[in-house]
Structure 1
Amino acid sequence: MHPALVATAIALPVALVVGVIVAAVLATRAPEQGPVALGAVPSPQAESPDCAALIDALPAEFDSFTRAELVDPAPPAAAAWQSPDVAEPVVLRCGLERPAEFDQASRLDVIDGVQWFQVTGDAQGIDASTWYAVDRPVYVGVTVPTGTGPTPLQAITAAVTQSLPAGPIDPNPVN
């Protein structure tokens, strides 16, 4: 056999194996994360000094999440964080309207002195929950993908505590 033919017979299978390994590595890598697009929601107090103070106090990162760039036009007083380990971002919005579901019979969770009201996305088929800080001068909503754990809410609670004074809650009456 000709030496060039032998070299080719050896090189082709080796190149094929290397190509398969490279393709497998590229396929399992976390996808490149780009800017996050957020739609508009009613946020009558988004332009308030309270929301500006909160946005300035938010962490750049927590756990495996890093602050994401928002697609223009970005809604005011909003932020998002992405993680290579979680498909959906954590999203914060400040200056929201009082949640319709928040009434005098609502269960509240207290995290580091902040009273949070949770609305799950189960009924809408959404794999996330939105937590509302209900004892501050403005309503703050944090949407957290299911299974993310407590770290996002804890990190954001620290910023809420630092930038917004506690106040009385104002729930809807029970119907």
Structure 2
Amino acid sequence: MLSGQIPSSLGNLVQLTSLDLSVNRLTGEIPSSIGNLVQLIDIDLGNLVQPIGSLKQLKLLNLSNNMLSGLLPPFLANLTNLEALDLSQNQLLGEIPQELTQLTPLAVFNVSYNRLTGPIPQSRQFATFENNSYKGNSGLCGTPLSRKCGDLKASSPSYPTSEED
């Protein structure tokens, strides 16, 4: 188990393709030099989150179980090679940005157990994601969910906090 701060020299590993910093006791900010890891394909930051929109080669982004809050980050649409995005088990709010439909390589998408609301974006890519991708977001509506978007006004959403619902 690692503890302390992430050294900025990590950004010197420019050929690095996979980085897993989860399940450690790291503190502080992620150094900006991590943006130099342009060959990075897979990253798991555990409970450390900073904008990573400059990592254009990134294929897998797992930020699940991090207590993230706020809106879905707009930089996600810049990760044009992303094949898997897991933002499940957080406290994310608002709508799923329509811009995410531009992530055509995306094969795995999981935003379950957040506090998302509004219509699920409609695109060829999003049509491939099943109900489980959206489970636990009672404010979401539209295909593939059975809840039509007009039905949302009739009831106020409740927000489960775990997979046990």
- Do these two structures clear the TM 0.5 threshold for a shared fold by scoring above it? no
Question: Normalized per residue, which structure has more helix?
Answer: 1
Larger radius of gyration: 1
Normalised by the size of structure 2, how large is the TM-score?
Answer: 0.25
